[in-house]
Amino acid sequence: MEFEVKKTSGKARVGVLKLPHGVVRTPVFMPVGTNANVKLLTPRDLEEAGAEIVLSNTFHLMLKPGVEIIRLHDGLHKFMGWKKPILTDSGGFQVFSLPKLKIDDEGVTFKSPIDGSKVFLSPEISMEVQIALGSDICMAFDHCPPPDADYEVVKEATERTYRWALRSKEAFKTENQVLFGIVQGGVYPDLRKKSALQITSIGFDGYAIGGLSIGEERSLTLEMTEITVEYLPEDRPRYFMGGGSPELILELVDRGVDMFDSVFPTRIARHGTALTWKGRLNLKASYNKRSLDPVDEQCGCYTCKNFTRSYIHHLIDRGEVLGQILLSLHNVSFMISFMDEVRRSIEEGTFREFKGKMIDVYSSGGVSV
Amino acid sequence: MEFEVKKTSGKARVGVLKLPHGVVRTPVFMPVGTNANVKLLTPRDLEEAGAEIVLSNTFHLMLKPGVEIIRLHDGLHKFMGWKKPILTDSGGFQVFSLPKLKIDDEGVTFKSPIDGSKVFLSPEISMEVQIALGSDICMAFDHCPPPDADYEVVKEATERTYRWALRSKEAFKTENQVLFGIVQGGVYPDLRKKSALQITSIGFDGYAIGGLSIGEERSLTLEMTEITVEYLPEDRPRYFMGGGSPELILELVDRGVDMFDSVFPTRIARHGTALTWKGRLNLKASYNKRSLDPVDEQCGCYTCKNFTRSYIHHLIDRGEVLGQILLSLHNVSFMISFMDEVRRSIEEGTFREFKGKMIDVYSSGGVSV
């Protein structure tokens, strides 16, 4: 892996990340493909939208189809028909989000959300699975505590995250894949700092900011990110896990973050909402029933070039999934174009103006025209 | 409209149908897009699959989005983003398939399946709507009786179909669109003959065989088709409404039919079944869990070129709609390729061999390899 920061504007930075399956320009948005697919989109839809990297979930893939099936395909790339880079999470987020039967230093025993069976995950198992998946970027196995956890609980999770990061690195014996460490620390500044120092002391190819955007106040999200970034090396990519609205991305880019992922653009698409350069647009709303406008006049995606809001309103109204498909395609295209503009504004030294303009647009509610 | 029969093999024939929005090679399979979309597929998916014409439903479009919205778009082509020919049915089939409040010579009053409101449809209204839709091929408004209807009921419906055909033609004042008449007559040979003579006496651009493949025995479907075709002119296209399995198409092509439509390939795709050159393939079946084969080795569609059966099995297993999308794309591609082979075998004088081989394949159940 090579990573080079090409240009900065304040803390915001434009970089180039060279990975085994291709080059990723940062700041980058990564669409999420939990079950080895980005919902409703084919790999060529994603390529056309301009996606340079997608994220998938180790825990889910372990359960179904299981690592054996993906090994049969020589990895996740061939399984899902995606030729560009893939980042996989480690399962650490599921420590926060799924029912657990037992957590100790050895690892976590989950109750499978699919069949209720016991599933054990440890740093070693997470690495083994991610190596089998063949992800370009693998994530260390971490312990992500809930946002309202007490100091002592978070402290323990943070220390465990450090021990698990050491074990993750030790177990990560592979070529042509890279490993990122994850900083935890909840919403406690001293734990964030300590975690950042611990994780960077191990030495990873990149660093993730974990355990945020999971329900805490937005001001804390930003404050914790700032503290964390302060202790991350300049020459390594920084990845904020699980945050991907335009507003949040702008705030985080402004604080030096390079990589983002979220199910948000595809999830809201399935609920009839588009992201546009004028804000969010609710295609279900009756004011779109007669609109001959595209979803977004400035967008060059397949959806915007070929269909009216009226048509998409009709599809959604009739429960036709094609409406959700067309909006998913648009929203991913929009996020990629949005990141293009983020990078361009950093390169041109106008990031703050761009940020201010877009946050105004997005904080003023949805567009109605 | 121009129609030319280029080659025959027995009663089977290859023709070329020139329509305002493009050329259609017959025998042709028309994917069905009831609500102004072929479920889960974009127009470019359909073009890539090789579709030359699609069918949509007047009755459904009248209700939603309503003809006013489609007029705003200057017709159905622009509304749904499909540039090639469109055939619309007349609403006559809904006389058979939906709850009716009243049928008399004036027309039919339906209970809207959307909101329960009263909807009136007559030959004049059907023509007005189809003219507004801008369909390349419009269908006369007919009265399709149920397959188990008594002779007297069918006789009355057949006579009404004749009167409505006269009124349809009278009301069809438009350019750049053509009108097909529909032969009814149920499963009664004398009524079939009479209807064919009546409808052809009016003079239409093409002729449809209606009221079949709606629950009657297969032998009756074929017998009634044979009788009907006997009284249809050689130089006009013949369209069998609502039948589209490979087996049925082969039998009907062999009896001189040129055009077919069915929701069948896209519907079974959504239920996890693929059509292949070796028969039907159930992607849900556990024997596909580890299969690295494509859905169909002989198929060149996007799905078959990029994904394994194992991957599609996984998507369906996880409830990921992408599995249904990929199978819909394949099944439409398959049907188009299948019709290519039907035409080629007619041109080469080997249609009967092709028919025999494919009927063997399809009557022997699903493939397991």
Over the stretch B279-289, which tens digit does the pLDDT of each residue have?
Answer: 999 999 999 99
pLDDT tens by residue, B201-220: 999 999 999 999 999 999 99
Instruction: Estimate to the nearest angstrom the gap between the alpha carbon of A140 and the chain centroid.
Output: 15
List beta partners, residue A262.
A31
Q: Do B302 and A40 touch (CB under 8 A)?
A: no
Report the alpha-carbon distance of residue A96 to residue A122 in Å, rounded. 14
Report the alpha-carbon distance of residue B304 to residue B292 in Å, rounded. 11
Q: What is the ipTM score, two decimals?
A: 0.97
Judge residue A176's burial from the number of C-beta atoms within 10 Å of its C-beta, 0-12 exposed, 13-18 middle, 19 or more buried.
Answer: exposed
Mean pLDDT by 10 residues, chain A (369 residues): 97 98 98 98 98 97 97 98 98 86 94 92 98 98 94 97 98 97 98 98 98 95 98 98 95 98 97 97 97 98 98 98 98 98 98 97 72
B47 interfacial to chain A (CB closer than 8 Å) = no
Size of chain B in residues: 369
* Catalytic residue flag (residue B89): yes
A306: CB partners within 8 A, 6+ apart: B43, B81
Cis-peptide, bond into residue A265, ω within 30° of zero = no
A87: CB partners within 8 A, 6+ apart: A30, A53, A54, A55, A56, A135, A136, A137, A138, A139, A239, A259, A261
B98 pLDDT tier (thresholds 50, 70, 90)? confident
Output the pLDDT for position B100.
83
> Looking at the partner chain, which of A64, A81, A292 has a beta carbon nearest the beta carbon of B318?
A64
pLDDT tens by residue, B12-47: 999 999 999 999 999 999 999 999 999 999 999 999
Q: Is the four-CA dihedral A61, A63, A64, A66 of positive or negative sign?
A: positive
**How much is the average pLDDT of B228-248?**
97
Closest CA to A5 of A160, A237, A224, A168: A237
Q: Which of A254, A258, A261, A296 is catalytic?
A: A261
Tokens for A118, please give them.
């016991």
Report the alpha-carbon distance of residue B23 to residue B343 in Å, rounded. 15
Output the pLDDT for position A369.
45
**Nearest 10 degrees: Cα torsion A213, A216, A219, A225:** -50
How many CB atoms sit inside 10 A of residue B79's CB?
26
> Looking at the partner chain, which of A65, A81, A318 has a beta carbon nearest the beta carbon of B307?
A81
Output the pLDDT for position B367.
67
A79 interfacial to chain B (CB closer than 8 Å) = yes
pLDDT tens by residue, A170-222: 999 999 999 999 999 999 999 999 999 999 999 999 999 999 999 999 999 99
Output the pLDDT for position A366.
65
CA distances to A78, A259, B48, B323, B330 from B300, rounded to whole Å, are 18, 37, 11, 17, 9
Q: How many CA atoms lie within 13 A of B198 on its CB side?
A: 21
B97 pLDDT tier (thresholds 50, 70, 90)? confident
Closest CA to A208 of A220, A192, A223: A192
Q: Do A325 and B325 touch (CB under 8 A)?
A: yes
**How much is the average pLDDT of B167-187?**
97
Q: Do A325 and B289 touch (CB under 8 A)?
A: no
- If DSSP states are collapsed to H, E and C, what string results for B238-304? EEECCCCCHHHHHHHHCCCCCEEEECHHHHHHHCCEEEECCEEEECCCHHHCCCCCCCCCCCCCHHH
pLDDT tens by residue, A297-336: 999 999 999 999 999 999 999 999 999 999 999 999 999 9
Q: In the predicted model, is pLDDT for residue B329 greater than 70? A: yes
B369 pLDDT tier (thresholds 50, 70, 90)? very low
**How much is the average pLDDT of B103-107?**
95
Is the pTM higher than 0.80?
Answer: yes
State what percent of residues in chain B have pLDDT above 70.
Answer: 99
Angle among Cα B129, B132, B135 to the nearest 5 degrees reads 90
**Nearest 10 degrees: Cα torsion A30, A35, A40, A42:** 70
How many CB atoms sit inside 10 A of residue B369's CB?
7
Report the alpha-carbon distance of residue B315 to residue A38 in Å, rounded. 11
Q: Which of B142, B205, B258, B261 is catalytic?
A: B261
Alpha helices, DSSP H, located in chain B: 43-49, 58-63, 67-72, 76-80, 92-97, 123-133, 151-171, 189-202, 218-230, 246-253, 264-270, 302-306, 309-317, 321-347, 351-363
B273 pLDDT tier (thresholds 50, 70, 90)? very high
What radius of gyration do chain B's Cα atoms show?
Answer: 20
Q: Which of A45, A89, A254, A296 is catalytic?
A: A89
Report the alpha-carbon distance of residue B122 to residue B131 in Å, rounded. 14
Report the alpha-carbon distance of residue B228 to residue B192 in Å, rounded. 6
> What residue in A sits closest to B326 (Cα-Cα)?
A42
> Looking at the partner chain, which of B41, B320, B325 has a beta carbon nearest the beta carbon of A35?
B320
Q: Which residues of B touch A80 (CB under 8 A)?
A: 311
State what percent of residues in chain B have pLDDT above 90.
Answer: 95
**How much is the average pLDDT of B297-309?**
98
How many CB atoms sit inside 10 A of residue B302's CB?
19
